[in-house]
Structure 1
Amino acid sequence: MSRVAALLRHPVVAFLLDVLLVLVFAAVGRASHAEANPVLGVLSTAWPFLVGLVAGWLVVRSLRKGWPTDFGPGITVWFSTVLIGMVLRRAVGEGTAWTFVLVASVVLAVFLLGWRALVAYAARRDA
């Protein structure tokens, strides 16, 4: 396995990458709507999804006794991120229009599952 793939499979690095990608998702979404106060706005948009992300990591860790650094466990992380993120957004009166749910689901799938798929591909190629 390449050094990069091995580094990305380290739980701390993988978790921080997931957090960064959720923040990028929120930042791009806010920028596309030209909303004010970029830092607080991004955190305001991202927090429900970050809670979902942490929940997904905890579910995988407790049920599988491993870290969600591979594609399969990443599906649980992605699903939890979207589901809990949308439930929390709804609970605090933020938007959950079906178009937002769809876009968030697709973008977060590409982000959270994409890097895991690339790492798995690199590991198979190196083997």
Structure 2
Amino acid sequence: MPPSRIILADVIAILTFAILARLAHNTPEAPFTTLNVLGTFWPFLLGGITGHAICYATKKPTLPIAPGGLIIWLSTAITGLGIWALRHGELPHWSFIIVASIMSGLLLIGWRGLTNMRAKTKS
């Protein structure tokens, strides 16, 4: 799979994460709007880009689950949650850390797992 498609798949996974997060936290104070989705999206996207840069700099492939997918997932979760903490002036609640980490992992690692399974069934 070309690198541009891998990056696009990760962007879609992170955008899906942001949409699901905003839907789950849709309140009158923070309604589900494009701006609120983008406010959730950009910190995690920055983390995903950082993960891709780490893989590129260390010559780790980004498609397999390990090590590239794990690097991108951890970078996405850590950066996104770190920026959240800076924006809010406090650490996220432990439950938010767990849910954000699991959901971003399911989406970023999940599509890689499906791609691997599909490739195995074709061969």
TM-score by length of 1: 0.85
Task: Return the match for 1:19 from 5, 8, 11.
Answer: 11
- Structure with the bigger RCO (C-alpha within 8 Å, sep 6+) is 1
How many positions carry a matched residue from both structures? 118
Verify: 1:40 aligned to 2:32, yes or no.
Answer: no
- Superposed displacement of residue 32, structure 1: 1.6
Mind listing any 5+ residue stretches in structure 2 that lack a counterpart? none
CA distance in 2, matches of 1:77, 1:115: 13
Mind listing any 5+ residue stretches in structure 1 that lack a counterpart? 1-8
The 3-state SS of whatever aligns with 2:63 is coil
Task: Return the match for 2:62 from 65, 68, 93.
Answer: 68
- Superposed displacement of residue 17, structure 1: 1.4
Verify: 1:90 aligned to 2:93, yes or no.
Answer: no
CA deviation string 1:65-120 (max 9, x = no partner): x5412211100000000011111111111761111110111111110001101111
TM-score by length of 2: 0.88
- Is the 1:48–1:88 contact (alpha carbons within 8 Å) kept by the matching residues of 2? yes
Superposition RMSD in Å: 1.5
